[in-house]
Amino acid sequence: MRFSLLSLVDYYLRLCFSRAGLRPYTTDIDSVTTIKCWISSALPNKNLTSKSQSSKPILLLIHGFGPLPIWQWHHQVGPLSRHFDLVIPELIFFGGSTTKSSSRSEFFQAESLVQLLNVLGLGESKDVYVVGTSYGGFVGYHMAMLLGQERIKKVVIASSDLLKAETDDKALLKRAGVESISDLLIPKEPDNMRILMEMALWRPPHFLPNFVLWDIIQEMYNDNIEQKMELIKGITIGNKDAFQLTPLPQEVLIVWGEHDQIFPLDKAHQMQKCLGETARLEVLKNTSHLPQAEDPTRFNEVLLNFLTAS
């Protein structure tokens, strides 16, 4: 069995999820797709036919392209679980979620999460709120469009450029000094891992030895590489023939890091205008692409103020 410092951190993060009342859950949503997720213990077990007796609404947390959700949402699960029953999926080809389907778009990810809610018996029985960060914001937007305001009440899109275009990708590659988006999002060498951390964090670590960076790559980025590259190519956002941003019927909160180098702040202001009068923008100072990790106290406060407001 391989041992590393990150495996200890991974164990601690799983404890954080468990202490927030979450348990791992794996289910087939159809004949070809399996979703692994964390769900609140009050939600139904696949071995039981009874539905949840909890009166809390459902909050779906959708992670971005990169580490598993225990790494991306561990600062949020405690505070949020006091107000919501949580569903935190591992997107397809991240962690234990897989499919035999050839579909690779973020729209397919959204359809799969809709089906997950149905399998859990939550499709129409409870109010559902959606929070998505980065790539997860793409998925969350499609879910909100698919289900409408009757089933999804509010939407939070964090650090997620729904107006991304080819020119934005080229500018990102120039800022990062890499040749392809996959070189940035799926680092295979320590140098690329350093670049990703410098782009994603406002205050990246000044020094990390190569063996630590290799460990991060091995633990977080080394599975399903080919399929993840297909996911990047399958993104419809940025393809004007496949996707056009239109306002959502739900109230929308856009959360952005002031110094985001992946998706610059000016794109957040453009998005707010396109999403209409129901969209508001919160900019978190002294953060970059991961405000939920860099300033979790403020991020959680902004999130709860929006989601719990009547």
Q: Give the per-residue pLDDT at 51.
A: 55
pLDDT band at 207, cuts 50/70/90?
confident
Distances (CA, A) of 31 to 123, 190, 213, 249: 19, 39, 38, 32
Contact status, residue 133 vs residue 62, Cβ threshold 8 Å: yes
Distances (CA, A) of 276 to 44, 159, 205, 245: 37, 18, 38, 11
pTM tops 0.85, yes or no: yes
Tens-digit pLDDT profile for residues 245-257:
999 999 999 999 9
Which one, of 89, 68, 64, lies nearest residue 9 by Cα? 68
- Return the top range by mean pLDDT from 3-7, 50-54, 249-253: 249-253
Q: Give the per-residue pLDDT at 234.
A: 96
Tens-digit pLDDT profile for residues 66-99:
999 999 999 999 999 999 999 999 999 999 999 9
- Mean pLDDT score across all residues of the chain: 93
Reply yes or no on domain 8-164+240-307 having CATH 3.40.50.1820.
Answer: yes
- State the average pLDDT over residues 166-182: 96
Tens-digit pLDDT profile for residues 149-165:
999 999 999 999 999 99
Cβ contacts of residue 186 below 8 Å, gap of 6+? 221, 225, 228, 229, 232
Q: Is the pLDDT of residue 203 over 90?
A: yes
Which bin fits 296, alpha (ψ -120 to 50), beta or left (φ > 0)?
alpha
Q: Is the pLDDT of residue 32 over 70?
A: yes
Reduced to 3 states (helix: H, G, I; strand: E, B; else coil), residue 206 is: coil
Which one, of 310, 250, 255, 307, lies nearest residue 60 by Cα? 307
Q: Give the per-residue pLDDT at 179.
A: 95
Contact status, residue 156 vs residue 306, Cβ threshold 8 Å: yes
